[in-house]
Amino acid sequence: MTAAPLFIGCAAGFSGDRTDAAPPVVRTLSRLEGRRVLMFETLAERTLAIAQLARRADPAGGFEPLLDDMLRPVLAQCLANNIAIVGNFGAANPAGAAKRILAMAHELGVAAPRVAVVKGDDLSGEEHRPLLRKALGAQIGDIVSANAYLGAQPIAGALREGAQVVVCGRVADPSLAVGPILAHYGWAEDDWDRLGRATMAGHLLECGAQVTGGYFADPGMKDVAGLHDVGFPIVEIEASGDCIVSKAADTGGVVDERTVKEQLLYEIHDPAAYLTPDVTADISDAVVHALGRDRVALRGVRGHARPDTLKVTVCREGGWQGEGEISYAGPGAEARARLAGDVLRRRLEGLELRVDLIGALSLFADDAGELLAGTPARDLRDVRVRVAARHAQREEARRVAREVLALYTCGPAGGGGVRTNVTARLETRSCFVPREAVSVSWEMVQ
Amino acid sequence: MRPIPLHRLAHGRTGDKGNRSNISIIAYRPEHYEALVAQVTEERVAELFAHRHPTGVKRYLLPKLGAMNFVIDDVLDGGVNGALNLDAHGKSLVFLLLEMTVQLPEGETP
């Protein structure tokens, strides 16, 4: 039996990605023969905690705030062309997102789609506390969110039953692709090699433009034409699970062996054991091979048995962060900036203050200031001082902002452009729970 | 031998999970891979990040991709949870590694 080919496009790699990414992907998918799927990945580690806070404030909220901007331009075309949509844009409220999608279809004047909701990832309720306490230890504190990374099975189940849109909360990012692949090819749940290949196809898709020239350009070394209009990826999945990466037609960006290698290794630790709920993927013998312009094949991925546990990310409130910045330019700028840093350290004794000299040394430095202390002044002429500290109390964090502001009149000569910021922090911890402790399901909503 | 900036011989990107960073280093040309493996070692990478006091540096080799993957533990001052760095994810850190110098035999070009 020869199955029709399968194409999966990705139109978002994080919450906050470009909302005009989807139309070119959908236009390209519409012209392809075979099964077509559009995927949205919008949940970074802490996005769910922010969503959970939004849901507390408004029980109807808590899903991706840009859902309308992302989906509305392409929903009707996807439904008309039988392009399935899979996304984790449900965040802390998948049922709320599903309801919104049905309303959107109604507003667009198209027939109500079959929308499925994946359930079971949310472990923030009181009834799950003993499980989390066991996994994290007694001191779990006030939990904002706790979510298990679910796998591909419920997505595949919903698609097999005819879902046109599948709304998830937390699922492992590659599983958003593995679900439709499983539904299409009908592999066994323990076909580890194929699942490993499908997972790495999903891994290449999950960050959107990161495989098509985004997070890549380095003028003179890695030039990318049309980065302002970078196209999002489309991956063809073969019956073996091997895949070919390409991108939306008539867009900027590039897919070549270099972009695919960089994304293949992105956030990978041991290349022989990339753990997901579906499989342990192994890229130690993987090869990438350019087939033509903006077409690259990935081959040689293997798979091993999936882990017995599911990863859970727990978010808690993490106090407050105060920040402030002020700039110095011209003769003696670096010396004046360093003096401003010294003044702030004296004024803010008792806080663990990080001091950066933007333009001289910032990103590569360390919170303790070791590298900066060992870096001699170089008489740089345009330097921005940035300080940051965190504290359990908001008032203490606010002191950082106030002291930077006061440098206008009390600090070194010629300080300008103060910006300050006081923000609530969220901290995450990860743990593992037995797979059978998490009850996973999906249901079609009306 | 003559010194060449690693930036001219290889590319890569940083990923992060919690307080752990992974940095890929990928040779532009397969013929340079061996020299990179010999010289871009766990020890040299640990030295570059010494001010961050990582608790471990592990290098994985992927010869079929002409690539290495460095996994550096506890190098992000707490990562997105704890770090006060503007770049709490450490997205920029591959370029700290690419500042390293590598020796190539005379006559070999980047």
What is the per-residue pLDDT for A58? 95
A421 in the same domain as A297: no
A198 in the same domain as A297: yes
Residue B108 belongs to a domain:
no
Lowest mean pLDDT among A133-142, A199-208, A268-277, B10-19: A133-142
Average pLDDT of chain A to the nearest whole number: 96
Give the pLDDT band of residue A60 (cuts 50, 70, 90).
very high
Chosen from A325, A363, A372 to mutate, greatest number of chain B CBs within 10 A: A363
Residue A446 belongs to a domain:
no
Lowest mean pLDDT among A1-5, A243-247, A435-439, B69-73: A1-5
CA distance B102 to chain A (A): 17
Query: Strand, coil or helix: what is A238?
Result: coil
Give the pLDDT band of residue A2 (cuts 50, 70, 90).
low
Query: Could you tell me the residue range of the domain that residue A374 belongs to?
Result: 317-430
**pLDDT one-digit tens code per residue, A331-368:** 999 999 999 999 999 999 999 999 999 999 999 999 99
What's the CATH number where A333 sits? 3.30.70.600
pTM strictly above 0.90 = yes
State yes or no: pLDDT of A1 exceeds 70: no
Question: End-to-end alpha-carbon separation of chain B, Å?
Answer: 13
Task: Spell out which chain B residues touch chain A, with contact meaning CB-CB distance below 8 angstroms.
Answer: 7-8, 11-13, 15-18, 20, 22, 24, 26, 28, 51-53, 60, 62, 64-67, 69, 71, 77-78, 80-87, 91-93, 96
* Residues B33 and B11 sit within 8 Å (Cβ to Cβ): no
A115 in the same domain as A166: yes
B7: chain A residues, CB-CB within 8 Å = 221
Mean pLDDT across A292-312 = 98
User: Are B15 and A264 in contact (CB < 8 Å)?
Assistant: no
Name the CA dihedral angle for B79, B85, B87, B88, rounded to a multiple of 10 degrees.
10
Please state, for a pLDDT cut of 70, what percent of chain B lies above it: 100
User: Are B15 and A267 in contact (CB < 8 Å)?
Assistant: yes
In chain A, whose CA is at the least distance from the CA of B81? A427
Residue A1 belongs to a domain:
no
Mean pLDDT across A107-121 = 98
Query: Which of A82, A87, A47 has its CA nearest to residue A179?
Result: A87
| Residue A410 falls in which region: left (phi positive, over 0), alpha (psi -120 to 50) or beta | alpha
A325 in the same domain as A281: no
Cα A68 from Cα A5, distance rounded (Å): 30
A301 in the same domain as A162: yes
A355 in the same domain as A246: no
Mean pLDDT across B72-91 = 90
Cα A58 from Cα A66, distance rounded (Å): 16
Instruction: Return the bridge partners of A321, or none.
Output: A390, A423
User: Are B87 and A284 in contact (CB < 8 Å)?
Assistant: no
Cα A194 from Cα A188, distance rounded (Å): 9
Instruction: Return the bridge partners of A423, or none.
Output: A321
A346 in the same domain as A239: no
B8: chain A residues, CB-CB within 8 Å = 221
Residue A19 belongs to a domain:
yes
Please state, for a pLDDT cut of 90, what percent of chain B lies above it: 85
CA pseudo-torsion sign A433, A435, A437, A441: positive
A370: chain B residues, CB-CB within 8 Å = 51
B84: chain A residues, CB-CB within 8 Å = 321, 354, 367, 388-390
Give the pLDDT band of residue A446 (cuts 50, 70, 90).
confident
Please state the domain count of chain A: 2
* Residues A202 and A175 sit within 8 Å (Cβ to Cβ): yes
What is the per-residue pLDDT for A46? 82
What's the CATH number where B71 sits? 3.30.70
A277 in the same domain as A362: no
State yes or no: pLDDT of A254 exceeds 80: yes
Query: Could you tell me the residue range of the domain that residue B72 belongs to?
Result: 2-101
Please state the domain count of chain B: 1
Cα A184 from Cα A241, distance rounded (Å): 11
**pLDDT one-digit tens code per residue, A145-191:** 999 999 999 999 999 999 999 999 999 999 999 999 999 999 999 99
Give the pLDDT band of residue B79 (cuts 50, 70, 90).
confident
User: Are A367 and B83 in contact (CB < 8 Å)?
Assistant: yes
Candidates B7, B11, B69; nearest CB to A268: B69
Instruction: Output the six-digit token pair for A366.
Output: 């360390």
Candidates B13, B64, B78; nearest CB to A266: B13
What is the per-residue pLDDT for A138? 67
